[in-house]
Amino acid sequence: MDSILEKVNFPEDIRGLELAELNILAEEVREKIIETVSKTGGHLAPSLGTVELTLAIHYVFDTPNDKLIWDVGHQAYAHKIITGRKDLFHTLRQKGGISGFPKREESIYDVFNVGHSSTSISAAAGITEARCLKNEDFKVIAVIGDGSMTAGMAFEGLNWAGDRKKDLVIILNDNEMSISPNVGAMSSYLNRIMTGQHITKLKSDIKGLLKTIPGIGDTMVKLTRQAEESLKAFIIPGVLFEELGFQYIGPLEGHRLDHLIKNLENVKRLKRPVLVHVITKKGKGYKPAEDEPSKFHGTGPFDIDTGESLAAKDSLPSYTEIFGKTIVKLARENPRIVAITAAMTHGTGLEEFSREMPDRFYDVGIAEQHGGTFAAGLATEGFIPVVTIYSTFMQRAYDQVLHDICLQKLPVVLALDRGGFVGDDGPTHHGLFDYSYLRAIPNIIP
């Protein structure tokens, strides 16, 4: 059978395909991503999880006339392959090759340059307002992952866009890595209702009545408990986004093209803020990445058959490894030392610390601003917080370092990883500016 991918260069090439052909295309795109990233390195697991979603979006919406914004962009490899860059995909993240992230200078299909998380909703809201000011007619779609929803900026964008009531589609790509903290408060609220005095008595009476049924009483009690949990799981996400002004649709199965296409076609007809909740599996289609999605989130070259890294093992430890061992040693000697990271436990060398001293380890998620002021709060009570963040992401907490840490002369240690040029990930990830902008702040000791 001829390869369908060979005939696909741009989104218009997929819009005439039958469903069966689209499913075959999804597998071919997935194979190309695995084959390429095994040689170049890159963000494998995120991009494998969004193949069907990418095809469905480009199948339904009129890109590039309709504007598609990817959050972070590390899940956009399939997007690159079907938007004119298939024959250049082997140059991914290489000198003179295509970027590992969407880049406006690279393609008309890349609407907004990205690399850091949680910017897509605000960017999409701005493009939506520009469309209205110019009296133009096109759809605006932002795809954001559940991990990016832990950042305050994402909810600032949702709050604004929902209030404006303009035609905007937000697709929440939930790969079950970070969504629980986002709905925790709402879950707690519903739990409070279900544990209130009257509801508790009613539940107790019903449970007692069910248990008296011979043979099936205990089973009925168990089913009732499951129904309660299902109700919470069904209601919570919708309530959260509906209250912010969005029509909530989902959750949808993110690897069923027929399901995605039908629902997105319905969404396309709506003229208001819509949030589409899609459930995907990170690393889909490559078992090593499915089993260890964090390991394959960002990876170097690897052996496809085994999933093992092909990088030569350096006999010398990295700076990150040295830091990780040193902070553990110091923390053993000083119980006031605590460690904070922003969704980068492995990347900043804190895995051993997190295992040995979990009560003194804090992963705040993709929330560098919160992490900075959280550290300041700990410091006011006599602790010595060590904030471990990639240099490029520390930029996001500049005001917290200045206002909450340095002006109060609090003993917070900033341990910035990935300083200097970082190479393959490009300008959005270089750690070039930390020394310049931090040195200008009063009371900081570089």
Per domain, the residue ranges of the chain are 5-180+232-291, 186-226, 319-439
Instruction: Please answer whether residues 324 and 345 qualify as being in contact, where contact means their C-beta atoms are separated by less than 8 angstroms.
Output: no
Q: Which of 430, 342, 429, 325 is nearest to 385 (CA)?
A: 342
Whole-Å CA distances, 166 to 12, 90, 121, 139, 158: 27, 39, 13, 10, 12
Q: CA-based angle 53:55:56, to the nearest 5?
A: 65
pLDDT computed for residue 243 by the predictor:
84
Q: CA-based angle 303:308:314, to the nearest 5?
A: 110
Same fold for the domain at 5-180+232-291 and the one at 319-439?
yes
| The model's pTM | 0.77
Residues recognised as catalytic = 282, 368, 396
Q: What amino acid occupies position 56? A: A
Token pair 């009257």 is found at 198
| Residue numbers in the chain where pLDDT is lower than 50 | 178-200, 203
Instruction: Please answer whether residues 138 and 65 qualify as being in contact, where contact means their C-beta atoms are separated by less than 8 angstroms.
Output: yes
pLDDT computed for residue 228 by the predictor:
55
Could you tell me which residues are beta bridge partners of residue 70?
Answer: 143
Query: In terms of CATH architecture, what is 319-439?
Result: 3-Layer(aba) Sandwich (3.40)
- What CATH number should be reported for the domain whose range is 5-180+232-291? 3.40.50.970
Q: Which of 364, 359, 298, 352 is nearest to 328 (CA)?
A: 352
pLDDT computed for residue 51 by the predictor:
97
Q: What are the pLDDT digits (tens) for 361-398?
A: 999 888 899 999 999 999 999 999 999 998 888 888 89
pLDDT computed for residue 225 by the predictor:
60
